[in-house]
Structure 1
Amino acid sequence: MAKVAFLGLGVMGYPMAGHLVAAGHEVCVYNRTTAKAEKWAAEFGGRFATTPREAAQGCEFVMSCVGNDDDLRAVCLGDDGAFSGMSAGSVFVDHTTVSAKVTRELYAAAKDLGISFVDAPISGGQAGAENGILSVMCGGDEDAYAHAEPVIDAYARTCRRLGESGSGQLTKMVNQICIAGLVQGLAEGLHFAEKAGLDGRAVVDVISGGAAGSWQMLNRYETMIDDEFEHGFAVDWMRKDLGICLDTADENGASLPVTALVDQFYKDVQKLGGARWDTSSLIKRLRAMG
């Protein structure tokens, strides 16, 4: 069992850190809002710290799950950053969805300090985090990944190294690109069923076991039919992720016309007041159009 720090206790990080305790690891958490770290410590029996540096001191592994590139830099760098508290030979594992650019930047900064850095973005949503069945896609040095993988296993169903630093983030971009198209297709299909006077639940019951079936269909069709979106992965976060995808496509020459279109559809959802609605709220946009 290992001494582990976990930085960031959002809807994903909070249960992930709890799974580390359940697996027998000694865990110290940090959160920008200290009250949430105190609550987590009271619930799971771990410790909390008031700075990333304090949380990281003496730990073999430091995990993070924060908001964006700037948030990640903030918890890693500076006098109060985790890197300043980590010892040579320790491993930083980042579960945030960020750009491959910041990942490689921090990988290099960590390497200069004798620290390993593994980019390990996650997929599976809040339910996956709570149930410890996330998909984890990793990039970084082979030996660092091999060292960290047994710890990551506490909340993963699937964990795999895809290549050198940044490969995990690039794989997460593929994940988000695929989801964008799937959700828009599902929204259009259910909207069409409504307009055609069909029973949407009966339709999904028939088609979900065939070629049209997907995780999105199985897990989101009922709430989409019921016009309920106060759950799941927020539109604001999806637009952040798709922005990363589109910026990276500009750099590597990939063509993402559907992704760019769906990103604009999500912008429409934001204008409807749905910034914090689940990503399946694309159907709300279609209903608003009549």
Structure 2
Amino acid sequence: MNDQPSQQPDEENPAVERAPVEPRKVSFIGLGVMGGEIARHIAEAGHELTVYNRSPDRLQRWKEANPGLAARVAANPAHAALDADVVITCVGNDDDLADVVLGPNGAFRTMRKGSTFIDHTTVSARIARQISVEARDLRIQCVDAPMTGSQIGAKRGTLTLMCGGRDEAIESARPVMEAYSSRIVHVGKAGAGQTAKMACQICIAGNVAALAEAVRFAQASHLDMDKVYEAISGGAAQSWQMDNRWSSMDADEFDFGFAIDWMRKDLGLSLDEGRGLGVSLPVAGLVDQFFAEIQAMGGGRLDTSAIIKRLPRKKT
């Protein structure tokens, strides 16, 4: 899952217009917050869409939200993948991904030689490399492509995709991925997309933690918060987090965006990978502990900007 939704109105950032493409048979597995929007773009681009979701309730909500879309509903991942040109997954974690891809009813049971597999789940580099090996043996093109750009980016079709895999796999996937992204970056071999996403989450975590301290500092100084934002957002301190979370953190509003539970999952992947690489990640580790404090307070489903709740607001 990935990451922070913008608060800017949709009309200020319209969806990207797409050129017509050759229709493909595309199967999409995982209709969550991000996946449901991506699947919609795929159908709207003219591809022949098949969908599968493990939770029938979520599948029903997706169908109700997209009444005009023509999509076949599959009974399981293997059924979804049957005769597909491209199979895409966007699920929860390593175990979920292994189940829908490699399990008894997994997509790889029925995917044909020469077809393309794309995974948008944020998972470990280890499972991404394992799936790549399995795909190679089955002569399936394989891409690990975690994303950034937020729920609103998924809605508008402007996601950034960090892709790992062979050149030919990326090019095979590109015509479909272009239906819901504005930037596709081939960062390296299998698993490289996942490690790039880990670097992304490390940056976000450190940024939002520092922003929380800045907001509390400015509040304690009895400054005009709008004026402070105007003054500092035009310089080197500017960031997406500042532009989209300064005012909501000041107002103690956190019921939106990328949940702390999800960020802790992602930071756990980063810290595990760092240990394997022999790389020290002290800031990521510290911020992960801060997020754990918010979870202990019952705030695991709040946006990551709720990290500010661990810093008491000075009473006036």
Instruction: Give the TM-score category using the shorter length.
Output: over 0.9
Tell me if 1:159 matches 2:184: yes
Verify the 8 A CA contact 2:32 2:58 in the aligned structure 1: no
- The percent of aligned pairs where both chains have the same amino acid is 51
Match of 1:32 among 54, 65, 74: 54
Verify the 8 A CA contact 2:202 2:270 in the aligned structure 1: yes
Verify the 8 A CA contact 2:88 2:119 in the aligned structure 1: yes
Tell me if 1:187 matches 2:233: no
- Aligned residue type for 1:54: H
- Aligned residue type for 2:176: V
- Aligned residue type for 1:71: D
Match of 1:18 among 40, 47, 71: 40
Q: Distance in 1 between matches of 2:226 and 2:238?
A: 13
1:36 CA drift (Å): 2.5
Q: Distance in 2 between matches of 1:274 and 1:158?
A: 33
Residue 6 of structure 1: aligned partner: 28
Tell me if 1:235 matches 2:263: no
Verify the 8 A CA contact 1:38 1:48 in the aligned structure 2: no
TM-score by structure 1 length? 0.97
Q: Distance in 2 between matches of 1:229 and 1:216?
A: 13
Tell me if 1:105 matches 2:127: no
- Aligned residue type for 2:49: V
1:41 CA drift (Å): 3.8
Residue 96 of structure 2 aligns to a residue whose secondary structure is helix
Q: Return 5+ residue gaps in structure 2 as ranges.
A: 1-22
Q: Distance in 2 between matches of 1:78 and 1:127?
A: 32
TM-score by structure 2 length? 0.89
Verify the 8 A CA contact 2:35 2:90 in the aligned structure 1: yes
Tell me if 1:70 matches 2:119: no
1:201 CA drift (Å): 2.2
Match of 1:88 among 89, 101, 113: 113
Residue 12 of structure 1 aligns to a residue whose secondary structure is helix
1:124 CA drift (Å): 1.1
Tell me if 1:253 matches 2:278: yes
Structure showing greater relative contact order (alpha-carbon pairs closer than 8 Å, 6 or more residues apart): 2
- Aligned residue type for 1:274: G
- Aligned residue type for 2:24: A
Aligned Cα root-mean-square deviation (Å): 1.3
- Aligned residue type for 2:260: V
Q: Distance in 1 between matches of 2:302 and 2:159?
A: 21
Residue 178 of structure 2 aligns to a residue whose secondary structure is helix
Match of 2:231 among 206, 217, 222: 206
1:289 CA drift (Å): 9.1
Q: Deviations over 1:230-285 (max 9, x none)?
A: 11111011000000100111011111110000000000010111110001111111
